[in-house]
Structures are given as C-alpha cells and as structure tokens.
Structure 1
C-alpha cells in the first residue's frame, strides 16, 4: 500500500499541475508524462525519506509498473471502435502503414549507429510510430528495458510530440489541399493521443474546421490498434533462443512456426486490449442497429461506460504506472545519457512525419483525399 499510495498521490498532483498549466498557457498538456517527471523529481531530490523509497514503497511501486500498467492498457482498448475505422479511417491506412514502416526501419538502425541499447531503440521506435507513452509503457516490460531507458523514451515523446502539437496545425494547413489530408497528417505525425487531439482542436479553432479534428482522432486511433500486433512482435523478437536437439547434433533446426510463436508470446494484456476494443465495437454496433448498446444501455449510458473505462480508468492507471516508473528511477541510472537518444528520436519523428506527408500528397494528387 505505501508504494501504490505514493504513486497515486504523485500522479494526482501531476494531473492537477498539468491542468493548471494547460489552463494558464492554453496548451493541452497530458498529466501522464508529467507524472513520470514528478516521480523522477521526488526520487532524486531527497524530499522523501530514503527508507520509504528503498523498502516500504518498493513492492507497491513494482505492482504499479506491472499489474496496474497492464490494466491501464486493457482499458485503453475501450477507446477504439472498429466502426470508426471502417467509416472514416480506411482511407488513411496506407498513410499509417507507410509512416510506421519507415519509423520501424529507420529508428532501430539509427539507434544502433548511435551506440544506443537495443532496448532503448525499440522503445523509441514504438513510441514514435505507434502511440507515444502508451506504446512505451506496453513495450517496456516486453523488451525488459531499464527504468532509465523508459524515462528517456517518454522524454522523447513529450519533447517532440509537444513541438509537433504546437507547430503542425499551421504546417498542415499550408501543405495539404484537403481536410482529410490535414487531419491524417496530424494523426500520423504527432506521437501521443492527447497531443494529436490538442493539435486537432487548435486547427479547428484557428481555421474553423471541425472535420480535421475528427479525422486526426480516427487516424491516431488507427495507429493505436497496431499496438496489438507490435507488442507480440517485440515479444517474439526478444524471446530467449530455444535450441533444438538438431542444433546440438549439428543439423539444421526446423524453421520457426510464426503462428505458434505469436500465440505463445502474445502477452495477456494485449489480448485484453483487443477484447476491450471488440467489446466497444460490439456496443457501438448494437447501439447503431437497435438504439441501445447490447439491448440495455441507451446512447448516454453507453457513452458514460466508454468514457469511464477508456478515458478515466485508463488515464488514472497509466498515470499511476508512470509515476511509479519515475519514483523507481535514480539519477545515477540517467548519467551519461547525453544527446544521442534525442537526436535519434527527433530524426525518427521527422522520418515518420515526412513519410506520412509524402503518402498524403500522393493520395491528394490521385484524387483519393477530397
């Protein structure tokens, strides 16, 4: 309880601070990355008794970074409806796939060339290409990343995602000819969901175009859906090698069964994430067909359920997990980080955004985005 209570208190204060800064600066600021920064500050400024951090709080902090984190990712699935993808997201899938592919090819390569750890490279690639902090928190235990690598990857998302949120609405308006082009660019080139929504809201306010906000949100949720495939893929990549008897005898080992490996290494929380998304989609479908979700919840009630689980619960759980990551990371582990991770993360963001931009321009000139 001491560790969980400390993480909850830290994230609560962080969300209040983020809300105050957002109101004062008129810039959307997510409390989740603020939570990890607050945890780092508390851990490394001797504000809390060392005995609390080293013994009493340790079990609860570990629980927060494992069980509570996984529960938060499952809850995120309630945000994702396949109906949204089918109605307004299909046209953007080629853009999402091309941009994500470029990121997953470039960032690990650049990380290796920069001398970064394989684990940090995977976190930078996943956070930049999929869904920001949520993807990093999902991938971190799978690749067995250190707390320091997780903190650095989150810092990249905060830094470059915030820059994109502030500048890309203006850039999109001048680069693209259509509302789908602008919205898809914001949804594919900015890291975190809150940052995408902030950029979309800014565009809607500046240029009086609400369609861009909706398209940006659907594009971002389409990216989030790929989490269900990326995490098992990383699990297979980082799985310990299993040598067969044939290898011991000098004969060639049988080829890997990818389907079996996918099932074996798919974490339970990813299945929960997909299950929550399917549940959301089924509720939306029954609401659309009969006027009530699952025959018992009207539109307002279903919206309350979706918001309570997909937004309120997921945000609280992920915020608590990120606060616990910060509270578990000492400054000694961050020494010598330097600028390389941020050079790789920044250049990776440019590659992902640039590839998305090129794909969108192609679709616009082809008359697909109108």
Structure 2
C-alpha cells in the first residue's frame, strides 16, 4: 500500500479514536461523577458500540471515513487481540485450551445439526443456510466471507447472513457477560469459556470479555474468552473444506479455495505475544522489573484502546435498516443458532463440572 493509500485511512481511524475518547469521557462522567463510584461500573466498550450505532444510523457516513473505519474494525481489532496476549502468564493458556477444544467441537456439531433440520422446515435458500451455519459456529462474518466464494453465494445472501450474525452477535455480546456472571457465580474460567464459545464474532467476543473485565474487574475472563475464540477461529481450516465438499458433492465442478487465504494469521501474533510475556517474565522479573511491568501495562492499555476503537467502528457499520429488511425466516434460523450454541455450551460445561469436579 502506497503512502497516499495509508493517508486515505487516517480520517476513519481518527474518527474511531474520537469515539473511543468520547466513550471514555461518558464512562467517567456517568460512572464516577454521577453514580459516585471510584471506578466506573459501566463498560467503555459497550458505550463505544452504542455510540457508533447511533452515529452510523442517524447520520450518513462520508466516503472519506469508510475505508479507515473498515481498516479499524479489521486490522486494528487484530492488533488489539495480538496485544491481549501480553496478559497471559507462562502456560496459563494451556490450562483452559484443553477444555476449550472439545467444547468447541460439540457446539459446532450441535448447531450444524439443528440448523440443518430447521432449514428443511423453513425452506430458506441453501446458500444462506450454509453461511448462517458457519457464521454461527466458527467466527461470524470472517467465516461467511471465506465460505461465500466456495459455495457461489450471491451478494444479497451474503448481506443477509452477515446482518443476521451481526444482530444476534451484538445481542449476545451485550447480554451474555451479565448472564454468565450470574449463572457461573463469577467463576472466570467458566465465564470465559462460555463467552468465547457462544458469541459469533471475534470482535464481539473481545468486546464481551472487555465488558466483563470492566464491569467485574476480571482480566482472566477476558484472557480465557479471547484464547477460546482464537482456537475456535482455527476451525475454519476444517470447516471451509468440509462445506466445499458438502456443497459440491454430486456436482461436476468444484470451486477452488485456499487454506492460506482463510488462515487467521493474527492468531500467530497473539501466540508470539504470549511467548514475549513468558520470556520477559523470566529475563526481567528480577532485574529491571519495574520497566518490564510498565511495558506490560502499556501494552495492556493499548490493547483496550485498539479494541474499543474497533467496537466503535463496528457500531458505525451496523445498518439497522438492513437488519430490519431481512425477513423473518433467516431471523428465526439466526436466533435458533445463537440459542443452540448457548444452550449446548452451558450443558457441556455443566457436564464437564459433573465429571471432573
């Protein structure tokens, strides 16, 4: 990308940062000044999403901002997730990674079966059913966009599927942190597993984890949710070829797809940041520990700034009119998908607790 193309991104990135700053300001005014708390009980990320949705739907966004906002919600989001890796202490992620994988597999299989049965009843287009299925089970919009060319989905089918996933992802993102805190009695590991498995988008999981961290002061929950979601994202490598096979089965032509193109490379950056934290703790914890701990805190703060900017950008790109025009049948499928993955996740966690506790 040339220098001029980078400059084109600046207005949208700056707008996202301004919305982050406004969100932080509203958070301080409402939480500390009006409600009198020492630390605001309201999530900055939630305010950023709501502000973004308000401005994005009330005002027409100029073309000069759109490219930067798209860059923010895709690339700055990934940078924020990479920076989150600094929060994980040595081998901490291995403790819940082994639990997360079977949980994810069970949820994916369950949702695919339920949606398959449902679409036979509702008679919605086959392509849209595939897109909603993979969006609900793996990683939301990213999975939809990766699957669409493999199955030859039309533009309106892609738009409907994305709007569907966006709607239910936002609902679960705003509701699940509070529900999970009540249901799991504030247990960080279980709440993180639930959030990371049951919410569609990587951005939405990061936002839900951030909301929970800011509401209930639990960075561990944010860590578990993020790692669980990143593990879930890697299932694209299995699901895209599977969907390609199922869709093209019995057809003379097969569409080409590339594992290289769909692999979520920011996962590598996240793991690299975990390694940096592990090595840094060993090298600097006795010598220069203050400088190292200050560096860790700075990267943690940057991760939350980047994620909140991405939440604002996502809010601004959420068109409520598109969601309204979807029609009820895809809405029913999306709701059942969200409910199924949530219920199966709860049931699987309960089974795990029964067997191993």
TM-score (norm 2): 0.67
Matched, 1:359 2:348: yes
- Structure-2 change in CA distance of 1:265 and 1:361 (3 Å): closer
Matched residues in 2 for 1:33 and 1:237: separation?
35
Specify the alignment match of 1:287 in structure 2: 280
Deviation of 1:234 (Å): 3.6
What RMSD in Å do the two structures reach over aligned CA positions?
Answer: 4.5
Matched residues in 2 for 1:34 and 1:235: separation?
38
Specify the alignment match of 1:346 in structure 2: 335
Specify the alignment match of 2:230 in structure 1: 224
- Structure-2 change in CA distance of 1:200 and 1:68 (3 Å): closer
1:1-370 to structure 2, matched below 5 A, reads 4=9, 7-8=12-13, 11-12=16-17, 14-15=19-20, 18-19=23-24, 24=30, 26-28=41-43, 29=46, 31-32=48-49, 34-36=51-53, 38-43=55-60, 53=62, 57=63, 61-62=66-67, 64-65=69-70, 67-75=71-79, 76-80=81-85, 83-107=91-115, 110=118, 113-116=121-124, 121=129, 124-125=132-133, 128-130=136-138, 135-144=139-148, 146-147=158-159, 149-173=161-185, 180-181=189-190, 184-185=193-194, 187-190=196-199, 192-199=205-212, 214-215=220-221, 217-230=223-236, 233-234=239-240, 237=243, 264-267=258-261, 270-271=264-265, 273-291=266-284, 298-305=292-299, 307-308=301-302, 310-317=303-310, 319-320=312-313, 323=316, 325-326=317-318, 331=321, 336-366=325-355, 368-369=356-357
Matched residues in 1 for 2:118 and 2:105: separation?
20
Consecutive unaligned residues in structure 2, runs of 5 or more: 32-40, 149-154
Matched residues in 2 for 1:222 and 1:185: separation?
9
**8 Å Cα contact 2:168/2:338 also seen in 1:** no
**8 Å Cα contact 2:164/2:334 also seen in 1:** no
Deviation of 1:136 (Å): 3.3
Deviation of 1:355 (Å): 1.4
Question: What is the CA deviation profile of residues 141-180 of structure 1, one whole-angstrom value per residue up to 9, with x for unaligned ones?
Answer: 434564554344212111233232333322333xx9x775
- Structure-2 change in CA distance of 1:189 and 1:229 (3 Å): closer
- Structure-2 change in CA distance of 1:216 and 1:321 (3 Å): closer
**8 Å Cα contact 1:120/1:149 also seen in 2:** yes
* Aligned residue pairs, count: 318
**8 Å Cα contact 1:68/1:317 also seen in 2:** yes
**8 Å Cα contact 2:48/2:315 also seen in 1:** no
Matched residues in 1 for 2:230 and 2:25: separation?
28
Matched residues in 2 for 1:94 and 1:344: separation?
24
Consecutive unaligned residues in structure 1, runs of 5 or more: none
SS at match of 1:223: helix
**8 Å Cα contact 2:122/2:329 also seen in 1:** yes
Deviation of 1:330 (Å): 9.2
